[in-house]
Structure 1
Amino acid sequence: MAPIPKMTIPVCLIENPLGEKLYVNPEALKLLEKISQPLVVVSVVGTYRSGKSYLMNKLSGNPRGGFSLGHTIKANTKGIWMWAVPHPKQCGHTLLLLDTEGLGDVEKGDKQNDRMIMSLAMLMSSAVIYNSRDVINQDAVDKLYSMIELHQNIMDKSTNQKKKTGGQEKAEEAKMAPYFVWVVRDFTLKPELGGHPVTADEYLENCIMDITPVKTPKAQHKNIMRGTIRSYFPKRKCFLFELPSSDKGVVNIMDRVSETQLQPGFVKETKNFCQYILDEVPAKRLRPEQSITGATFAHLIKSYIQVVTKEDISFLESSILKLSQEENTKALERSYDVYENRMRAQHVNTEQEFQQLHEVSVEGALDEFKKLYVKHEKDQAAYEEQLQSDLLKRKEKNWENCENSSRKKCKALIEELISGMDKGIKERKYHVVGGHNRFVADKNRILKKYNQEPDKGVKAEEVIQEYLKQLEDIESIILQTDQALSAKKPKLLKVVDPSDCKQLTQYIQSYQLPTERSYRILIQLFGYAGHGKSSFVNSCLCVVGYNHYQDHAGEATSYGGKTIDRRGYKLTDSITVVDNRGFSKMDSPEAWEIYAQLCNFVALNEIVLWNKSLKERIEQLTKEEQEEKPDIIVPVLIYSSEQSLGDLEYERIIDFLKRAQKLTGILPFIILTKTMSINASCLTDKFSQMGMENIYCVENYLLSDHMAIRKKHLTFLTFLKDVLDCVDFHLHHSGKFQNQRREWIRFLMEMAGTMQSN
């Protein structure tokens, strides 16, 4: 809503028809109710045909329109007309001009009507302009006094009432009195006293000063009138206007002629008058701390009329009381809003943080109320006590909302984190030998991610403890199942006969890692495409636990491999064999991806890309740190005996094997496939020369040749048993994982920044 409605012409505010009561124009009230700015209310009173409307038009900034000047002997303005314009000097204020009907209208012949109009002007205005002609003489003083008698009677009643109830002092009332500006029109005399020139203000003060010495009752009465004027108008100003023009024709059309056609002195005094009104007159106030807006003014107008018609100030006082109560109610509502907005603006995670936020918000709400409070019969302390009491209730409601919101958020987070564990529980994946250790590891991983999530609210700890409590019975069952299965199938601690396939199989199946150190063993296969990695995976699965051969990994054709991702296949609870995308050139981009896998920076079951950008590689290294118990990666190179080993391949493979040992701490295992070839013996020698100790010549089980043969079984089982022996040795001598991780990041960062794509 705009702070002030646009008014192109004045509107009648209070109508005063002949022989009828004063009443308010509803259309004018609607306009006032739309004004949200403080009002500077300036009214003009005086005899009709004394030029009041001309001055008001000048103040409005529109001297050629607005209030009707009335160029006949009939009084033109009936009642009180208003014109609201943006204040030209006081930003954010509205100038409300009130032009009253001329006093002494012969058609009405009602002095009481004149007195009511004058008293209304005094009640409603920031400044009252009294317009008279010729000179300030005793007759002019008498008329002014008679017009304020009604106001005097009204205010005297108010003063008596206040004295009985301990109200405001007269000094405070004087501060709230309107400015009084006496405008003397057509002043033809020289402003002199005792032969000396005086200012207009000095001239006014001389005219209303006490007569001394007082020798007659008439003189005493004159002093009473003059004292009353001084008392009721402590802020006084006077302007003396000469004739606007000697040409009566020009005077009759002053609103339509140029200022150059008017007397210079008249034009100058008009400018001085406007400057004073616009610079000095303040906003209308009910109390020193409470200015009046248009909406407030509209609320009080009917009360103003009742005051002057019934000569009882209590009508206005009760309206002001009601208005103050409404304003203070609004101030309370605004203070509640300040409190609620501050409480909602900040997230809290503890009860202490909530209490601190509440205290800061209460302080802000109290400051807001103190700023908006309007003086009232209910004092400020009582309102503030009510405000603090209400805010305590709101605190309880806000705390309840915080609890509910936090609980809802935390439960949603837990549901998201436990989806994998819930699935495992339903599928009874933990109800196996070693299942309890896996369950505890998954539970701890969920707890860690939960604790890392920020802004969970005040119920974060309570909700997670409730969830952990729910898991106790499930964990107990898993532990009992694990112990029972372990008792039925005791772990084989030692292989007595390395040639016994059954003994080797039992040892591999029952092998368990020390859970406080590592999560699982990853037998990571590397090699060129089509060299038999996937077939090797199928063979390992077949000999360890699958009683018959199945193509789990996807056997490749003789024309090259088809595996494009890094996929894990679980042999036992502790051992997973990992198939991998085959090399094409084993250049630096491929080598970087291989080393990232060896350093635990690549997740299982994801597509392997050789051509990642530098940015993608750096992001891969700076992701959230892995679990504190990492996988143990055993590097295994698969090489087909049908392929010769050229010089370039030899150099790249030996470099890869050396780096693989350095990064994992485990000497790589070499698997030679298709060993019926004449190159098998030569390749065995070459890998031995490279320093490799664990070299195995195998014939994979294939879709075309999967009949179980003891010799084949024994080769794969021996390989797996040797892997486990190597892991045990590694765990006994390895250092701290976090130290390894820092070395891995440094190595991969350096390699990512210097490698060249081929």
Structure 2
Amino acid sequence: MASEIHMPNPVCLIENRDRKLVVHQEALQLLSGIHQPVVVVAIVGLYRTGKSYLMNKLAGKNSGFPLGSTVQANTKGIWMWCVPYPGRPDQTLVLLDTEGLGDVEKGDSRNDSWIFALAVLLSSTLVYNSIGTIDQHAMDQLHYVTELTERIKSKSSPTENSGALEDSAEYVRFFPTFIWAVRDFSLQLELNGQPCTDDEYLENALKLKKGHSREDQVFNLPRECIRLFFPTRKCFIFDRPTNRKNLHRLEEMEESELEAEFVEQAIQFCRHVYKTSKPKTIPGGHVVNGRLLANLVETYVGTIRSGGVPCMENAVLALAQMENSAAVLEATGRYVELMDQKLKLPTETLQELLGIHAKCEDEALQVFMARAFKDDQQQFQAELMRALAQKKEAYCCQNELESSKRCKALLKRLSKELENRINNAIYSRPGGYQDYCNDLKTVRERYHQESGKGVMAEAEVEQFFKDQEAVGRAILQSDEALTEKEKEAEDARARAEAAEREKEIQRKQQAELEQKLEDQKRSHEASIQHLKEKLEKDRKKLLEEQNKMLESKLREEKALLEAGFLKHAAQLKEEIHQLRKENEDIRKPSWLSRVLEVASVTLPLVLPGLIGKAVGGVTRLIKHL
């Protein structure tokens, strides 16, 4: 829970050591302990531009991330601070302060590009911090955005002949929202002599230049990348916080000592971030918690260290494998925990146990569905259902065992006097057989009067009577009060009764088997229903992703048409058409029914141990489904 987060200070998440990125395991452990959705705000920009000050303000502190007071870059690598999210008790705010870009002492632009790429990959809101104005010099310094497609892959197998900008829709699926923070702004905020807003200032700076020269292409490329990769963007203009000679003591200064305009701008900046930032998600709309974020960090840094390029598709598949396996274990554990809480063995009937199992299974499925994602072939859901079926069968066996123990102990106690009489040959006299039958009947009556015997009550008493058959037959044959004809008649009657009791036991066993089969049918249908509900949610998330891409393409198409870039606009129009067609396919009922059709075959139907016992019953059940 957010209230349980105790991070008084930031910790290093990714250290930049000798131009190599190293993940700190202690930071990963802190992250992994956060089970809530995380909202990740990362800040990037040139060194000595005051990035850490804004991050401290977002944390609600004056200090924490080191501000530094010299021309040397202070933050090395990426530092992390996890704090409770203001106004959102069910979420955690993860702040990432990155190493300043363009550090002359480091002199490694490739290393800077990886820091920038990691900030993009890990965040849900990205803040780019710069000094002065948004001019061509500022755009040139933001060349890292033009290198993103060299540092990040959306798919393991990109579309043939696709370029960086053509694939921008795929990047929009998982790229963060973008905030440009312009610090120490000293100009009048005007356009063509008229006052303008911060956002209008940014959009004007992102306008493209007509022309096909090399100079025009260099001018347009960073602007095109920002427009396409970050369709949701915002700008904040900041005045200088104080005079130059006091900047070194910014951490120590009270707000009353700072420029009023700057203080208000910082407050508005924080309010916007708190209000608009969303939990980190991965393609498919799956919300990321601390544990998943830790796995992403390890995956991306591991890929970079090995000389590869982080691929979102591969990272999601790797995460899905880990999470889905863990989801099976968590759901199975929850099922066992609930069964042990609610199930008191032995139960009086099998139906009682199956009723408890159904409720526990339903909650286990909810646990699984809440954590699992991209289980496209229902491989892990099928694994869970098999595991739960095996656990249920084990509980059934344990239930029968406990019942048998209790019934045998009860029969032993009730038949103690009967056994003593048999051992002392009390029934070995004329008329002894009738006395034996009466005593045996008394045992049965007293047995049925006892409660809490469980599901094996009938089977155990019948087994007891079956064990007595040989003794009864011997007493019958030795009873001199009966004629041979009467003995034959009595023996025939006893055998008939035993046969009838055996048939009754078989009927009950068949009824229990049918109950189990019926429960498996219910379990199968419940599993399909849970899957259907999850697919409906996934479809909604997918459509939200698609619409997000569509809206960004439509806005860009409109801007290109207004600017006279007809060729670019025509290309976007084709992409927009394709996106709309995909949306129509996703909305069709067949999109859902195809998955459910596969799932109805993939998800297990027959309980372990039932095959061979009731092949005909199972066959009829499958035909019914």
Q: TM-score, length-normalised on structure 2?
A: 0.68
**In the alignment, what sits opposite 1:240?**
237
The 5 A counterparts of 1:512-523 are: none
Equivalent in the alignment of 1:383: 380
| Residue identity opposite 1:457 in structure 2 | G
Separation in 2 of the partners of 1:249 and 1:419? Answer: 102
Give the corresponding residue for 2:467.
470
- Which is greater in Rg? 1
CA contact (8 A) 1:89 1:279 kept: no
Among 247, 255, 259, the residue aligned to 1:251 = 247
Q: Which one of the candidate residues 95, 100, 103 is aligned to 1:105?
A: 103
1:265 maps to which of 261, 266, 269: 261
Query: What is the CA–CA distance in structure 2 between the aligned matches of 1:177 and 1:208, rounded to whole Å?
Result: 19
Q: How many angstroms apart in 2 are the aligned matches of 1:349 and 1:454?
A: 9
Post-superposition CA distance 1:573-621 (Å, at most 9, x none):
xxxxxxxxxxxxxxxxxxxxxxxxxxxxxxxxxxxxxxxxxxxxxxxxx
Tell me if the contact between 1:289 and 1:374 (Cα under 8 Å) persists in the aligned partners.
no
Verify: 1:118 aligned to 2:91, yes or no: no
Give the alignment partner of residue 197 of structure 2, picking from 196, 199, 207. Answer: 199
Q: Once the 2 structures are TM-superposed, how far is the Cα of residue 215 of structure 1 from its aligned partner? A: 6.6
Retained in 1: the 8 A contact 2:146–2:225?
A: no
Check the 8 A contact 2:2/2:90 in 1, yes or no: no
Give the CA deviation at 1:121.
1.0
Q: Which residue of 2 aligns with 1:80?
A: 78
Mapped to 1, the partners of 2:457 and 2:83 lie a distance apart of 59
Does the aligned pair in 2 maintain the 1:134–1:186 contact within 8 Å? yes
State how far apart, in whole Å, the 2-side matches of 1:79 and 1:115 are: 12
Kindly indicate whether residue 270 of structure 2 is the aligned counterpart of residue 274 of structure 1.
yes
Write the mapping of 1:37-116 to structure 2, written as runs, cut at 5 A: 37-63=36-62, 65-116=63-114
| Cα deviations by residue, 1:57-106 (Å, 9 ceiling, x for unpaired) | 1111121x211111122222222222222223322333222211222212
Task: Specify which of 271, 277, 290 is matched with residue 294 of structure 1.
Answer: 290
In structure 1, C-alpha distance between the alignment counterparts of 2:30 and 2:247, rounded to whole Å: 33
Q: Which residue of 1 aligns with 2:585?
A: none
Aligned counterpart, 2:14: 14
Q: Is the 8 A contact 2:300 2:310 kept in 1?
A: no
Task: Say if 1:2 and 1:127 are closer, same or farther in 2 by CA, change over 3 A.
Answer: closer
Task: Return the structure number with greater relative CO, CA threshold 8 A, min gap 6.
Answer: 2
Which residue matches 1:326?
322
Match of 2:580 in 1: none
Whole-Å separation in 2 of the counterparts to 1:458 and 1:315: 56
User: d(CA) in 2 for partners of 1:291 and 1:398?
Assistant: 35
Which residue identity lines up with residue 463 of structure 2 in the other structure?
A: E
Taking a change above 3 Å as real, the CA distance of residues 455 and 216 of structure 1, as seen in their structure-2 partners, is same
SS in 2 for 1:81: strand
CA distance, structure 2, for counterparts of residue 314 and residue 172 of structure 1: 15
Give 5+ residue unaligned stretches, structure 2: 485-625
Cα separation, 1, equivalents of 2:8 and 2:409: 62
Distance 1:425 1:340, change over 3 A: same
| Residue 226 (structure 1) aligned with residue 223 (structure 2) | yes
State the AA in 2 paired with 1:330.
A
CA distance in 2, matches of 1:471, 1:85: 74
- SS class of match (1:256): coil
Residues 126 and 282, structure 1, Cα contact 8 Å, conserved in 2: yes
The equivalent of 2:188 in structure 1 is 190
Contact 1:429 1:435 in 2 (8 A): yes
Q: Kindly indicate whether the alpha-carbon contact (under 8 Å) linking 1:116 and 1:150 is maintained by their aligned counterparts in 2.
A: no
1:179 maps to 177
1:342-366 per-position Cα deviation (integer Å, ceiling 9, x unaligned): 6553464455666666666555544
The equivalent residue for 2:280 is 284
Displacement, 1:444? 2.8
Output the CA distance in 1 between the equivalents of 2:280 and 2:140.
28
Assess if the C-alpha contact under 8 Å between 2:40 and 2:125 holds in 1: yes
Query: 1:132: Cα distance to partner?
Result: 0.7
**C-alpha spacing 1:365/1:79, structure 2 compared with 1 (3 Å):** closer
Question: Is contact 1:417–1:446 with CA below 8 Å preserved after alignment?
Answer: yes
Give matches, 1:193-592, under 5 Å: 193-211=191-209, 213-214=210-211, 216-245=213-242, 247-308=243-304, 312-313=308-309, 317-341=313-337, 345-346=342-343, 348-350=347-349, 363-375=362-374, 379-431=376-428, 436-478=433-475, 484=481
- Supply the distance in 2 between the matched residues of 1:342 and 1:330 (Cα, whole angstroms): 18
CA distance in 1 between partners of 2:283 and 2:224 (Å):
25
Distance 1:73 1:261 in 2: 23
Deviation at 1:172, TM superposition (A): 5.6
- What is the alpha-carbon distance in structure 2 between the residues aligned to residue 128 and residue 311 of structure 1? 25
Deviation track 1:122-170 (CA, whole Å, cap 9, x = no partner) reads 11212211111121112212221x1123322233x54471437x9x986
Identity score, percent: 39
Q: Quote the residue 1:31 is aligned against.
A: 30
Name the CA distance, whole Å, in 2 between partners of 1:123 and 1:455: 61
Shift in CA distance, 53/339, structure 1 to aligned 2, threshold 3 Å: closer
Contact 1:436 1:482 (C-alpha < 8 Å) held by counterparts: yes
Name the structure 1 match of 2:573.
Answer: none
**Shift in CA distance, 118/457, structure 1 to aligned 2, threshold 3 Å:** same
Mark the CA change 1:338 to 1:7 in structure 2 (over 3 Å): closer, same or farther: closer
The one-letter amino acid of 1:39's match is V
Give the letter aligned to residue 405 of structure 2. K
Greater fraction of residues in helix: 2
Distance, in Å, in 2 between the alignment partners of 1:375 and 1:222 is 41
Q: Secondary structure at the match of 1:330?
A: helix
Map 1:576-615; keep pairs closer than 5 Å.
none
**How far has the Cα of 1:277 moved from its partner?**
1.6
CA contact (8 A) 1:4 1:36 kept: no
User: Cα gap change, 1:424/1:286 in structure 2, threshold over 3 Å: closer, same or farther?
Assistant: same
Query: Could you tell me whether the CA contact under 8 Å between 2:37 and 2:289 is conserved in 1?
Result: yes
Task: Count how many residue pairs are aligned between Structure 1 and Structure 2.
Answer: 478
Structure 2 CA distance for aligned equivalents of residues 356 and 39 of structure 1? 38
Conservation of the 8 A alpha-carbon contact between 1:16 and 1:79: yes
Task: State the distance in 2 between where 1:273 and 1:191 align.
Answer: 17
Letter in 2 for 1:22: L
**What do residues 464-516 of structure 1 show as CA deviations (whole Å, max 9, x unaligned)?**
001112223334455566654999xxxxxxxxxxxxxxxxxxxxxxxxxxxxx
Provide the rounded CA distance (Å) in 1 between the counterparts of 2:291 and 2:188: 46
TM-score by length of 1: 0.57
- 8 Å Cα contact 1:407-1:463 kept in structure 2: yes
C-alpha displacement of 1:415: 1.5
